[in-house]
Amino acid sequence: MARRLTPWRWAVLGLAALYFLVPLAASVVFTVDDPDGISFDAYTKILSAGGFVSSLLLSLELAVTTIVVVLLLMVPAVVALRLGAPRLRPVVEVVCSLPLVVPPIAFVAGIVSVLKWGPDHLSRTPLFQTFVAIQNPSFPVVLVLAYVVMALPFVYRALDAGLRAIDVRTLVEAARSCGASWPQALVRAVLPNLRGALLNAAFLTLALVLGEFTVAQLLGYQPFAVWIYNVGSDQAQMSVAVSVLSLLVTWALLLALAGAGGGRNRTAPSRG
């Protein structure tokens, strides 16, 4: 049966390949197209373009911080759900699904109005200083807060899938009966077995932060995705070149993750 369907299968795959490869190929053609033939100027100019390095660095810093924070919050929580507090599971599940119900644009609208409370109501309290501090343009903590929230559903799913594959309770009890203390049991027995899930969660968060546009743009910061957008208005070729490169970087990261023995959970956060 399966054999007879092969032509059908190749037709489907061929059409899909056409649809997905043509824009990429055309983008590459677009970037090297020059009145005098072929030119790689668009690519060589990227490095020297104003804001490229600083916006990319900002995105990477935000990504690393977000990953650290989200893992510090989530790993103890999900391990605890397996070990001591199964009754909290529905609570955590709901908390981690709520961000899915609030689209980023609505979320940022809420953040904008919260940030307005600062000058409006709190200008004479110490909290005001906090409001100013989290909006520091050189490292906007408010973006980290937003990205951690947006990453929660994906990180929860990745970690939960990883934990489902191992019996945490038995692992911990085995480690404890071998003389390990509680912290030792977690660090030496549980975390190594979660390596794939942690990598997976980290990758999903990284992809989310590097590509995030909505929140950053509307709060007035310029990480990488916003920079591409701003460049696009006057340097079309270069912005497309950067887009192509950013796709290649995502590919490389995902392949590296697969190579590092990551999980099979590829449900990625999608953003349009």
Partner 1 sequence: MTTALTRSDVAPVASAKRRRRAPGWLAVLPLLVFTAIAFGLPALAILDGAFTTKDATTGATSYTGANMTASLHGAYLTALLGSVRLSAISAVLGALFGLPLAQAVAGSRSRALREAVLTASGVLANFGGVPLAFAFVATLGNAGVLTLHLGLKDSGWDLYSFWGLVLVYLYFLIPLMVLTITPALDGLRAQWREAALNNGATGVQYWRHVALPVLAPSLLGGFVLLFGSAFAAYATAAAMVGSAVPLVTLQIADALSGNVLVGQENVALALSLDMVLVAGLVMAVYLPLQRRSARWLDA
Point out which span in 50-58, 112-120, 160-168, 190-198 binds partner 1 (CB under 8 A).
112-120
Is residue 148 close enough to count as binding partner 1 by CB under 8 A? yes
Point out which span in 45-53, 55-63, 85-93, 157-165 binds partner 1 (CB under 8 A).
85-93
How far apart CA 40 and CA 105 sit, in angstroms, is: 36
Candidate list 45, 188, 195, 271; residue touching partner 1; CB under 8 A: 271
Cβ at position 56, least distance to partner 1 in Å: 14
Cβ at position 198, least distance to partner 1 in Å: 16
Q: Phi first, then psi: give them for residue 213, nearest 5 degrees.
A: -125, -50
DSSP state for residue 34 in the 8-state scheme: E
How far apart CA 58 and CA 267 sit, in angstroms, is: 26
Burial of 62 (0-12, 13-18, 19+ CB in 10 A): buried
How far apart CA 159 and CA 79 sit, in angstroms, is: 9
Rounded to 10°, the helix 141-164/127-134 angle is 80
Of all helices (H) and strands (E), which one includes residue 37? strand 37-38
Is residue 114 close enough to count as binding partner 1 by CB under 8 A? yes
Is residue 99 close enough to count as binding partner 1 by CB under 8 A? yes
Is residue 55 close enough to count as binding partner 1 by CB under 8 A? no
Point out which span in 48-56, 59-67, 159-167, 234-242 binds partner 1 (CB under 8 A).
234-242
Candidate list 34, 178, 260, 266; residue touching partner 1; CB under 8 A: 266
Candidate list 44, 53, 84, 165; residue touching partner 1; CB under 8 A: 84
C-beta of 176 vs 195, nearer to partner 1: 176
Instruction: Single out the residue of 70, 51, 82, 93 nearest to residue 198, CA to CA.
Output: 70
Q: How far is CA 191 from CA 46, 60, 71, 194, in A?
A: 40, 24, 12, 5
Candidate list 53, 98, 165, 260; residue touching partner 1; CB under 8 A: 98
- Structural contact between residues 248 and 191, judged by C-beta atoms closer than 8 angstroms: no
Q: Phi first, then psi: give them for residue 174, nearest 5 degrees.
A: -65, -45
Is residue 256 close enough to count as binding partner 1 by CB under 8 A? no
Candidate list 158, 214, 223, 263; residue touching partner 1; CB under 8 A: 214
Is residue 180 close enough to count as binding partner 1 by CB under 8 A? no
C-beta of 24 vs 57, nearer to partner 1: 24
